Structure 1
Amino acid sequence: MSRKIILYIAASLDGYIAEADGSIDFLTDDTSSEVEAFDSYTQLLERIDTVVLGRTTYDQLVNELSPDQYPYEDKISYIITHRPKAGTDQLIFTEEQPEQLIQRLKQEEGKDIWIVGGSQIIAPLIANNLIDEYVITTIPIILGKGIPLFSETDTAIKLKIVDSQIEHGLITSFYQA
């Protein structure tokens, strides 16, 4: 059985994962700061041993959201970047294309894999239908513009909704490919 690829992410009501300038301040407002208390988030962390994210998302994480301690230090992290740097056994900076990395990781032994973000990582995975589960938390804000969660694709991908939850004033929807 191959590892499942899970996109677990938050977006504004109008579908943006960041503001036009790349800021993610809307994710850390009063209501959304409690996302880590979500049962779904805790369950996700138990299911995975690997996280995949882009360099911009990684930089936001270590500089803005969790500057004192990398929150996934007990997982293997792959940071996809055009500016690789030395890492560790647990923190791997790579220039590998997202779809190639995911196809390779799916064949390796381990738990499921979390796609953290951002949009440049997500788009090729969707285009190649490599995401098995979509877990999307909707933040009740309309940004009007920003970095979209989903880019245009040539092919529609039909999903099946399997659950939805309301916690801390946020809606989390669970889909399977």
Structure 2
Amino acid sequence: MSREVILYIAASVDGYIAEPDGSIDFLGGGIELVEEDTSYQELMEKIDTVVMGRTTYDQVVNELSPEQYPYEEQLSYVITSHPDKSTDKLFFTNQGPVKLIQELKEQEGKAIWVVGGASIIAPLVEANLIDTYILTTIPTILGKGIRLFNELNGPVSLQVEHVYEKNDLVYTTYSTKAHS
């Protein structure tokens, strides 16, 4: 059985995942948590593997969670042209995202979360390897920055599975027609 590959990511209304300098300050700015949101916890229960690029990894360990690596319980794969020493749960690889995901999908395990960034996501979208897209829309228009989806050899047809709003954020879940 093939493991599910999930892209769970936040973007501005105009489709940017980061500001031009790579900053993601807009993700948390001014958001008031009125209602409990369990979408992240639900995702973490479904997955046992995370895949990300080096820039995203550096942002996680240096800015977002410098005290403790948030994915200690999962296997982590960091795609980079400058691999560091791997550990028993954290693997640095220069393997391309398509080949890595194809291999991981065939291994035993729970779902795989593609964390980011854009250079990892684009080839996976083009290869139609993402089964579920969970996009959180932040009510901000950046005007410029790092796009969620760069120019692609598309189209990739998706099916809307679920849409809801919490704390002024809009969550939309899509599935690929092949996976639904």
Matching of residue 156 in structure 1 with residue 155 in structure 2? yes
After the TM superposition, list the runs of 4 or more consecutive aligned residues in structure 1 that deviate by more than 2 angstroms.
Answer: none
1:129 is aligned to: 128
**CA distance in 2 between partners of 1:65 and 1:167 (Å):** 22
Number of matched pairs: 174
**CA distance in 2 between partners of 1:43 and 1:106 (Å):** 20
Correspondence list, 1:83-102, <5 A? 83-102=82-101
Matching of residue 146 in structure 1 with residue 145 in structure 2? yes
2:67 is aligned to: 68
2:118 is aligned to: 119
1:103 is aligned to: 102
Q: CA deviation at 1:28?
A: 2.6
**CA distance in 2 between partners of 1:107 and 1:85 (Å):** 25
Root mean square deviation of aligned Cα: 1.1
**CA distance in 1 between partners of 2:27 and 2:70 (Å):** 16
Q: Which amino acid aligns with 1:105?
A: L
2:27 is aligned to: 27
Q: CA deviation at 1:51?
A: 0.2
**CA distance in 1 between partners of 2:41 and 2:134 (Å):** 13
2:18 is aligned to: 18
**CA distance in 2 between partners of 1:87 and 1:29 (Å):** 34
User: TM-score normalised to the size of structure 2?
Assistant: 0.94
Once the two structures are superposed, what CA deviation does each residue of 1:43-82 show, in whole Å capped at 9, x if it has no partner? Answer: 1100000000000000011111111111110000000001
Q: Which amino acid aligns with 1:21?
A: D
- SS for the counterpart of 1:102 is helix
Q: Any stretches of 5+ residues in structure 2 without a counterpart? A: none
**CA distance in 2 between partners of 1:87 and 1:24 (Å):** 27
- SS for the counterpart of 2:26 is helix
- SS for the counterpart of 1:131 is coil
- SS for the counterpart of 1:49 is strand
**CA distance in 2 between partners of 1:57 and 1:28 (Å):** 16
Q: CA deviation at 1:38?
A: 2.5
Q: CA deviation at 1:110?
A: 0.2
Q: Which amino acid aligns with 1:7?
A: L
Q: Which amino acid aligns with 1:75?
A: Q
Identify the structure with the greater helix proportion: 1
- SS for the counterpart of 2:170 is strand
Q: Which amino acid aligns with 2:160?
A: I
Greater Cα offset, 96-105 or 20-29? 20-29
Matching of residue 171 in structure 1 with residue 170 in structure 2? yes
User: TM-score normalised to the size of structure 1?
Assistant: 0.95
